Structure formats: C-alpha cells, structure tokens
C-alpha cells in the first residue's frame, strides 16, 4: 500500500541522510514520534499484565511473520517515570500461527517462551520491542509521566482485562487508537479470535427499558455493546412486540436483559429452536418484585413462568412464558432474591467464561437454580451465573441486571449503577457472549 510521508517525518528522514549511521539509529527521547514498525518486523500485539488477585498467567504477545528468528530481539519495560526496570531477552522463532507469546508461567496457553518478567507494572507504564537496541515497536498505557510509547497512551485495563491491537496487528502509530481492552487471547487473533462479524441481538420487545431500567445498547448497555463490537461482533436490537424465527435468522447470540413482559408460546418455540439449532441465549435477570412497567411480571417470572399471583388472569399462551427451567435447565429462583446487601460472586469451577475473572459484584438480583448444566459463580451456597448446553446451542443465566451496564441512560440522564468499569465484570460479560457464540 502506498502512502505519503508527513512533511515533518520527511524532513527528519532527509536530515538523517546527512548524518552518520550511528546518529540516525539513536533512540528517540521519551514521547517522541516513532515511525511505524517496518515491514516484516513483529509488533507488540497484546499484553495481559494485571490478573485478578496475585498476578499469575500474565503475558506479552508479539505478532509477526511465521518463522522469523527473534535472535537479537528484546523487550524493555519502563515504569511511569520512564525508568527501565526490566529487560527480557527473546529467543526462538515466531510460530506458524504468527503469534509469539512470552508467558509469565506455564498456565498461559499457546506460550512460546516462559519468563517471569512478563508480569508488567499494573499502573501506568511503557513497553518497547528492541532489535539490537533499536526500537522496533512501542506501547504506553495509562498516564505515564514519561511516555515511551507511540502517540497518546492506550488505556489501562484493570484487573482481568488485556490490552490488544484491534483490528489484530494494526499499527497507526498511536497506542490510544490501536489498542483496546478485551478478554485475554494469548496466541490467537485479537478482536474475538475469529468472530467474523457474528450477530449479537439485544432484546427490546419485553420492555427492557421500562421504568428506571434502561437495558438498551444505546443506553445503559452502550459500553457492553461497544466492547462486543470491539471483539468483532455485529450488535443490534430486536424491536417490535415479539421474537420470531425470522427475527433470529443469522444471529449467533440473543441477549435478554431483565424482561418485563411474558413470552408467548410461539416466541418460546422460536427461541428454543434457535438454541437447538446452534444459537446462544444469555438470560439476565433481577430480583423478585422488580416489576418496572407495573404489569404484574418481574424478570424471574418472565423467565420461569407465571407464579399464580398477579396479574389476576393470564392467558394460557403466556403462563409458561420462556419456561427456562424446563426448556434450558436454568431457573431464576423465586425463593432467593435480594436487593441488599451487595454480594460478590466468585468462581466455583474452571470454565472458559471465567478466563481472567476473579470476582463479580452482584448488586440486586436472584440466585440461579441449576437443574441442568454448570454453576460457574456464586457465594454462600448460591449460584449467580450458570451455563448449559442444549442441543447444538448454549445458554447462560446471570442473576443480576446491573453488572454489565454503564451509568448513562438513553435519555441522557445517569443511573445508580456504574459497574462496567469493573473489568472483572466486563471481561465476564464479553466471555459469556464469546462462549455462547462458540468463539471461546
């Protein structure tokens, strides 16, 4: 691809012609403009530096030509003041996959080299890839006092998130543009590892934005939707009054966040067929008596069926609603709902959904009765996240509506929950969709 050098860079290049070779190769000062990585050179592609709790399983990933020898290459880590505190000498060659993973320990999949130094500073810092001492590529994240990266720094991740180039391997010479926070993907493509634009639908047919709720992708779930788009998914809403098989055609995942109106028999059949055929459904519930539109239905009841109380009469085609306990083996408990106190769910087992997740806040919700499937997160003998495989598809139920939202409503006002920046939760939200879509 041809391009034009900016005037300033062109002048610098011409100046270098008249200088000695050693002067031209001198490392730029901190914060200086660095050239794009040369063709055929590897780049810093992903860093996972802040695992939940005590750091384990951290890594630095390079992307480059398969078979390229890394003899003479090294990684230099700098603290927020720009002082180098670590050097990692690289060895070996880039695997056929194109990804070379420097792992902190042997728990990291697809590792190429194990070096405990791959556990970088959790706060603001910089990292450089060097070849015989010359800068090949550079990354700064956070707000380092001395920026040794390219352009403005990338964001920090928080515990459990990775900093990755999206699109995979892209280099515009600005860390803030090239890197974004996502779930860790050592040794595979960033941006979801091959999502190929799979479609994720967020339901809006069941008054998910009623009352003081706003579970819309242009409202309280805007950050969630943006994160999924960053992983390579296409995200849109299901509007209107019902879900049909036509609605679900071409979709990979259907997200149903705190529904306030029941599903009809026809809708339940369409959703069940969607899962049986390979689709994924993510059911996000809330606590009992969370009736936002005052129609007699709260979200646990919408998922599990009419409880026989209010409203006084319900047509037979709506009494079962989604019938998730029978159809999917996951039941939003009628007997274990809460609105206070704040609880913290922790992993109950190992599972791909829990990669990079140490805990998740459960603020208002209900526990999940796992009739079939696997309990993933919980506390005090109760489950708050569970998954199941049904036919060729997958389902997940999370007992809290607030965890995956930000605090901006679609009408411009702000809400009481601001939990998306808790990256353990953000990572979990992304992982759930990736698992449901078959990408994890």
- Which pTM does this prediction carry? 0.62
Cβ–Cβ < 8 Å for 225, 235: yes
Domain of residue 117 covers: 26-182
pLDDT tens across the length of the chain (440 residues): 332 323 333 333 323 323 232 333 334 444 445 556 677 899 999 999 988 777 889 999 999 999 999 999 999 999 999 999 999 999 999 999 899 999 999 989 899 999 999 999 988 999 999 999 999 999 999 889 999 999 989 888 777 778 998 878 888 888 888 888 777 889 988 865 445 678 999 999 999 999 888 899 888 888 788 778 777 789 999 999 999 999 999 999 999 999 999 999 999 999 999 999 999 999 999 989 899 999 999 999 999 999 999 898 999 999 999 999 999 999 999 888 766 667 788 899 988 888 767 778 787 789 999 999 999 999 889 999 999 999 999 999 999 877 665 545 455 555 444 444 344 456 788 889 988 998 77
> 165 pairs with which residues across the strands?
179
Do 120 and 239 lie in a common domain? no
**Would you state the structure tokens that stand for residue 22, as one six-digit string?**
């050693």
379 by Cβ neighbours in 10 Å (0-12 / 13-18 / 19+) ranks as: middle
Cβ–Cβ < 8 Å for 208, 263: no
Do 128 and 214 lie in a common domain? no
CB atoms within 10 A of CB 210: 18
Q: Would you call 338 helix, strand, or coil by DSSP?
A: strand
The total number of structural domains in the chain stands at 2
Do 288 and 142 lie in a common domain? no
Whether 115 maps to a domain, the answer reads yes
Cis geometry, peptide bond prior to residue 341 (ω within 30 degrees of 0):
yes
Do 36 and 120 lie in a common domain? yes
CA distances in angstroms from 385 to 148, 201, 282, 287, 391, listed in the order given: 41, 20, 11, 14, 20
Q: Which of 79, 88, 134 is closest to 112 using CA atoms? A: 88
pLDDT of residue 103: 96
Q: Which of 268, 293, 281 is closest to 208 using CA atoms? A: 293
Query: For the domain that residue 376 is a member of, what is the CATH number?
Result: 3.40.50.880
Do 218 and 363 lie in a common domain? yes
């Amino acid at each position: 691809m041809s391009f034009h050098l900016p005037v300033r860079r062109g002048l610098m290049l011409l100046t270098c012609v008249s200088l000695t070779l050693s002067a031209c190769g001198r490392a730029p000062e901190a914060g200086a403009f660095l050239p794009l990585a040369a063709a055929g050179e590897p780049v810093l592609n992903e860093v996972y530096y802040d695992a939940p709790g005590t750091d384990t399983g951290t890594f630095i990933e390079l992307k480059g030509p398969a078979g390229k020898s890394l003899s003479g290459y090294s990684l230099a880590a700098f603290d927020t003041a720009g002082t180098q505190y670590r050097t990692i000498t690289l060895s070996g060659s880039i695997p056929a996959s194109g990804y070379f993973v420097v792992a902190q320990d042997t728990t990291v999949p697809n590792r190429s080299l194990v070096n405990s130094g791959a556990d970088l500073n959790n706060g603001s810092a910089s990292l450089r890839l060097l070849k015989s001492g010359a800068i090949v590529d550079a990354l700064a994240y956070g707000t380092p006092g001395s920026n040794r990266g390219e352009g403005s720094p990338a964001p920090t991740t928080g515990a459990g998130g990775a900093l990755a180039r999206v699109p995979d391997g892209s280099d515009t010479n600005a860390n803030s543009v090239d890197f974004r926070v996502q779930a860790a993907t050592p040794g595979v493509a960033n941006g979801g590892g091959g999502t190929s634009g799979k479609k994720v639908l967020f339901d809006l047919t069941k008054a998910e934005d009623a009352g003081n709720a706003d579970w819309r992708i242009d409202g309280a779930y805007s950050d969630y939707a943006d994160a999924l788009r960053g992983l390579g998914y296409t995200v849109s809403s299901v509007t209107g009054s019902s879900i049909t098989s036509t609605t679900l055609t071409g979709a990979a995942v259907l997200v149903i966040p705190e529904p306030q109106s029941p599903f009809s028999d026809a809708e339940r059949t369409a959703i069940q067929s969607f899962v049986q055929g390979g689709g994924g459904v993510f059911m996000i519930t809330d606590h009992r008596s969370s009736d936002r539109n005052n129609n007699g239905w709260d979200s646990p009841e919408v998922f599990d069926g009419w409880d026989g109380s209010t409203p006084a009469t319900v047509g037979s085609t709506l009494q079962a609603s989604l019938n998730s306990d029978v159809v999917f083996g996951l039941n939003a408990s009628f007997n274990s709902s809460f609105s206070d106190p704040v609880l913290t769910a922790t992993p109950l087992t190992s599972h791909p959904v829990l990669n990079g997740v140490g805990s998740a806040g459960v603020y208002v919700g209900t526990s999940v009765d796992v009739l079939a499937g696997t309990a993933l997160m919980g506390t005090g003998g109760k489950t708050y996240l569970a998954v199941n495989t049904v036919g060729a598809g997958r389902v997940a139920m999370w007992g809290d509506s607030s965890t995956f939202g930000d605090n901006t409503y679609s009408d411009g006002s702000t809400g009481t929950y601001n939990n998306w920046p808790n990256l353990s939760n953000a990572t979990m939200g992304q992982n759930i969709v990736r698992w449901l879509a078959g990408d994890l």
